[in-house]
Structure 1
């Protein structure tokens, strides 16, 4: 209901000026009312402080994606399944779209707020990172594939500079270098004790890495600019991606052989794929929450730590050769994660920067040298 107020009439010829005041129900749309709320799988994170929000998101990422990684390797351990990585991605995108539709129906505001063109680009990048990653497992062993995917920290930083105009400090750059060096060391060790490299697999996972590096920054920019929800992002990006993959499989004739094979092993293919997709959907919901709350770089750092844990579980549950070079490479990755966490919490905890630490160490060293000379 609106109230109108006019200027006082001094004469009959003077025109009135009216001012409309919207009622309480018209002040803001239902979406704007819920912008402050951030729900992940029905959990309202808005009532928690930043530390608790971070802990909940990280716990969700680790729990669901560790199960996700185990099921992914389990599916590709089924004899004869390795050529059907793209079909697995199609099934995965179908389940994601269904889960996203169900979750969106449970929300109050069901409108699409991010433009369709943006979703078409996000869907293309999502198809690239997940489809190429799944397909690469037909040519590479699982730890090698995970190691390559962990190297996306530097491309994400580069993407942040060019896509969002971000600037990173010395600690962030040092973290990226430590993690990359550790992952390279891990890969070299793997090539010595378990040489299972294939040029096709390396090309596929490298292309997936490039797409994966870009998608976090594009999602972060779109969600912050249009206040898109997690369920909306999942529904539209994966449903459009489902259409992309379906058209591609129909064009190359890869749909019929995959359907025939999976129909012969429904429990080990569609059964595993359902739980694989379910845990992946839960995991991506927490990743999107991390992106929205803390940015793409923090999300990538957390998912990189999760990948390192996935590698450990892969060695535990699936027989593989082992060398201590894996440990040294993993320690470098952990150092990189520590540097990144240090960089993000330095201002809140009033910690000195790397430059200040270096100057302090240099001044102490110079003082010792002067005292020795005296």
Structure 2
């Protein structure tokens, strides 16, 4: 039963974030023209897009707790946990986006595919979670497999300019982003151990604090006024923003269900392999051939997932509540 629920949650994450990614690309890469004589402009309001998503997520969680999740009862989780996990989550996202100024997109994607590793390490160090030894090997197999599969070879040799752009600053930002991912997972482990935090309360409170942090950022930067003016010039984008936010809210709902019932590590494995299966699906459906490296990566991913499903659930000490 637990395996079936985990697979259902994983399917929900896959479907919602697949659509989420498609709409996000349409919004951020589309050209917007308000009149026949006007120049086309692009959507460049990332913080406002994050704020919109967090606000819709908050409303979605509010409705869930008032209806189908009302049995979750009162929440005893300390506010500092929600506040700090929302901050680390946002910082991970910001560092990841900023890294693209110095590293290529393939480098950023491969770097983020290592997310389960810091989630596991910091879960042990700070979240007081214990994993069986084989779990480390299975997770490493999955991470290496995803990295091998989604890495796109640069056109033969990188040009001097491209090589120069792969600077230490981008790598540092990726390390910081992964560290923030690990801290988020560690805090969530503490929440589960000490307060048995439920999915609805986690989603509601983390998005509440995320809205506060991002609101401060968009107000201080003045971006919010430019965003409102842009939407006024291009009202057709409202439907795209609404469907984007709803897909994100439903996807996040499945993420918090996974975290609250199975922990942040299975969730990070699901979100990491989602990229792999998205690319693999495109290869299968559109008849593209795989490189030898990608076949090896595919073998690693499926071996890691199979072995983790079969042997990675050996009894492991849960996170210990702080006295």
TM-score, L = length of structure 2: 0.76
Residue 234 (structure 1) aligns with: 203
89-98 or 320-329: which moved more?
Answer: 320-329
Q: List per-residue Cα deviations over 1:252-302 (Å, max 9, x = no partner).
A: 33333333334333434x422322222222222222222232222222222
Contact kept? 2:123, 2:129, Cα under 8 Å? yes
Residue 12 (structure 1) aligns with: none
Q: List per-residue Cα deviations over 1:14-66 (Å, max 9, x = no partner).
A: xxxxxxxxxxxxxxxxxxxxxxxxxxxxxxxxxxx323322322222222222
Match of 1:92 among 35, 53, 56: 53
Residue 169 (structure 1) aligns with: 132
Residue 68 (structure 1) aligns with: 20
Change (3 A) 1:81 1:309: farther
CA distance in 2, matches of 1:324, 1:86: 40
Match of 1:293 among 254, 261, 265: 261
CA distance in 2, matches of 1:265, 1:302: 36
1:333 to 2:293 alignment: no
Change (3 A) 1:139 1:265: farther
Matches within 5 A, 1:15-164: 49-79=1-31, 81=42, 83-106=44-67, 107-108=70-71, 111-133=74-96, 145-164=108-127
Residue 253 (structure 1) aligns with: 222
Superposition deviation, residue 238 in structure 1: 0.8
CA distance in 2, matches of 1:265, 1:206: 38
Q: Secondary structure at the match of 1:91?
A: helix
CA distance in 2, matches of 1:127, 1:180: 23
Residue 232 (structure 2) aligns with: 263
Superposition deviation, residue 245 in structure 1: 1.0
Q: List per-residue Cα deviations over 1:216-255 (Å, max 9, x = no partner).
A: 2322321342132212111111111111111112223333
Q: Secondary structure at the match of 2:261?
A: helix
Change (3 A) 1:98 1:203: farther
Superposition deviation, residue 102 in structure 1: 1.4
Structure 1, gaps ≥5 residues long: 1-48, 348-374
Residue 276 (structure 1) aligns with: 244
Match of 1:207 among 158, 176, 179: 176
Q: List per-residue Cα deviations over 1:71-90 (Å, max 9, x = no partner).
A: 23333222454642222111
Contact kept? 1:87, 1:258, Cα under 8 Å? yes
Change (3 A) 1:210 1:265: farther
Contact kept? 2:85, 2:184, Cα under 8 Å? yes
Change (3 A) 1:339 1:191: farther
CA distance in 1, matches of 2:102, 2:285: 20
TM-score, L = length of structure 1: 0.67
Q: List per-residue Cα deviations over 1:89-135 (Å, max 9, x = no partner).
A: 11111111111111122215664421211111111022223444456
CA distance in 1, matches of 2:292, 2:15: 26
Change (3 A) 1:123 1:194: farther
Structure 2, gaps ≥5 residues long: 32-40, 316-323
CA RMSD of aligned residues (A): 3.5
CA distance in 1, matches of 2:43, 2:173: 14
